[in-house]
Chains A and B, each alone.
Chain A
């Protein structure tokens, strides 16, 4: 359906509902992880369910609002009557089920399908209600603890000393347990922190909430007081993280239709191309007094900045994806009775939204494999001298123009003999003799490798790693696997940052134009014939005492030998991927310009050494070289 025909109200509802559901998911996962205070979580979840109830009722989705209403009752019961679920873990798993149900409903609404009747989730709701009924929390009639966040008015400066003043003052009335940053009296730098995140205090008192708030009224620079009652052992440090999330979510954001952003980026791409045509225009090139040149220089700076802003608009942190992975692991771990710890690093790494969407399912698949097949049962682990609890390490980091995501488990590792055997059975290889050690693991990415024999709830649905590989390749990424027996398995996915614009050098190889990413060029030089060593037809370049292998693009792509031209000299471009180096022989260097990367049509076979293509100002197509792949040869 066309974007314009969608009801804007509905669109807003769906996008808000999605946000709510994912926030809810985060709350319960953090609760499960022990990173969130239960009482705080209840209040927050309650607020989200309440909002969703209201908006879905307004949009006429009775079945959603009914469910939310029921849940709201449960949460109100927990908040006001202090009731607790009998088992927190089961409670969380049931809530996650409920969140899944809501997600399905919202997706159905988005795709204009009938939503499911509320009866489908009845069982889960009843379970949760029952678990509450049996348990009554004994309310402690003693001093209460509060966690407080103060936000200061801007422009007062010396925030750290002001904070200290508050603490001193507060001590007359209540017992101050802890405050953060804790070094306000001595460290001037904490002032910045307070400005940004606020000042956190933990107190113990018999006073009521309202009375505590009043204590802060005498301080003119306090702009906002947020106060939560907490249970005995809640630590302030842990709680701050959940509050910080809340602060971030109140950042000033607007929802923009991604198609509009795409259009904007496309347009900027066109501007880049057109501008490069202007720069190369004869009239400007031959401009005598240089005034045009100066203008174009300024203009190119502006355009570059514009591009960066536009690109960054589509960038999102990987945190929500990682959260889903974590959730998958938590659920599986509970169902399969395998304790698993999840370690996540680099979740703030940003990636293009579209790429993230394509990446989530493959990553979930890998994580499932890790928990289901990789990590051993408790007994087996103990026998092997490992800890009873398995570990899954999920990490992301930027590396040049790529994002590297790795998923590693400390399980049993891949069994090479079994892989070979299965590959033989499936007819993927004909004999085990001529297969290199490092090619064995690659076999698991072959279509048809997956088997349904070991079907469990989580894998073996006939969807194999070949699909995972395909989806990664679809977005221009690559996937690698390493494994060591009994030590574990690591999957590494490398994906280009974005469908981006790069700086490139246009080169001419026998009349064909290629783009070399500027980031991989070390230097360019004129290459005399005698600097090229030809041993057994294999050319080397000798330069400053080092021998570099020559990458003959003409031979590689067109089957014509570059050196056969017998020119007295060539131009050499020394390229590197950080580890390996090589020299490209080219006829000519054309220009240096910004390149809008376009992917090659998916129905073409992949060409090793070419990562994509771009349109030149002339309308012609030039290939972008994949330096990594070229150096791997």
Chain B
């Protein structure tokens, strides 16, 4: 009985989180990822380089005793590299129990984007990796590119 109550609470919680997105910025473009994946947002920690990784995998960090990989959103989106500054931060995400950090220029806010607000991107442009994008949403006259967090964070060929 108690368990049922609990699980219905969890459902409610997930329901409430469903359409919420964390909006961040790379260059002047806004991007959004589903808030349910986000654990926390931290400042940049010292990164230990790991050999033999994709270029966008910057290395690993020590987050209070947990070792987690960090990927550079900018490089994952095939944009030119830029030096990190004090506004640079890391969005710590959890997908199927795998923690990973995404390095972004800066985090702006949490916003609600309904499914019907998202319209698909036009067919391939050369420098766009379509797998990452669920579409684009118009949020108070700001265009937000909605990312698919799983494909964005998980490597193309996963080595589990």
Contacts and interface: CB of A to CB of B under 8 A. Distances in A.
Contact of A603 (B3, B46, B61, B158): B158
B113 interface: no
Contacts of B22: none
A623 to B, nearest CB: 8
B62 A619 contact: yes
A603 B100 contact: yes
A601 B99 contact: yes
A603 B98 contact: yes
B80 interface: no
B6 A5 contact: yes
A600 interface: yes
Contacts of B100: 601, 603
A98 interface: no
A605 B69 contact: no
Nearest to A7: B2
A604 B154 contact: no
B62 A602 contact: no
Give the size category of B's interface with A. 20 to 34
Contacts of B54: 605
B16 interface: no
A1 B62 contact: no
B60 A558 contact: no
B159 A557 contact: no
Given A1-B3, A601-B99, A601-B100, A606 B159 contact: yes
B62 A601 contact: no
Give the size category of A's interface with B. 20 to 34
A5 to B, nearest CB: 7
B52 A605 contact: yes
Nearest to B95: A603
B69 A604 contact: yes
A387 to B, nearest CB: 41
Contacts of A598: 67
B153 to A, nearest CB: 8
A430 B8 CA distance: 53
B142 to A, nearest CB: 31
Interface string B48-65: 111111100100111001
A602 B51 contact: no
Given A605-B159, A613-B67, A621-B67, A600 B50 contact: yes
Given A1-B3, A474-B160, A620-B46, A603 B155 contact: yes
B118 interface: no
A620 B47 CA distance: 9
B13 to A, nearest CB: 14
B160 A470 contact: yes
Point out which of A599, A601, A602, A615 has the most chain B C-beta atoms below 10 A from its C-beta: A601
B51 A601 contact: no
Interface string A80-112: 000000000000000000000000000000001
A1 B54 CA distance: 36
Nearest to A603: B98
A463 to B, nearest CB: 15
Interface of B: 2-3, 6, 46, 48-54, 57, 60-62, 65, 67-69, 98-100, 153-155, 158-160
22 contacts: A5-B6, A473-B160, A558-B49, A600-B50, A601-B67, A602-B98, A603-B154, A603-B158, A603-B160, A604-B57, A604-B159, A605-B53, A605-B159, A606-B52, A607-B50, A607-B53, A608-B52, A615-B67, A620-B48, A621-B61, A621-B62, A621-B67
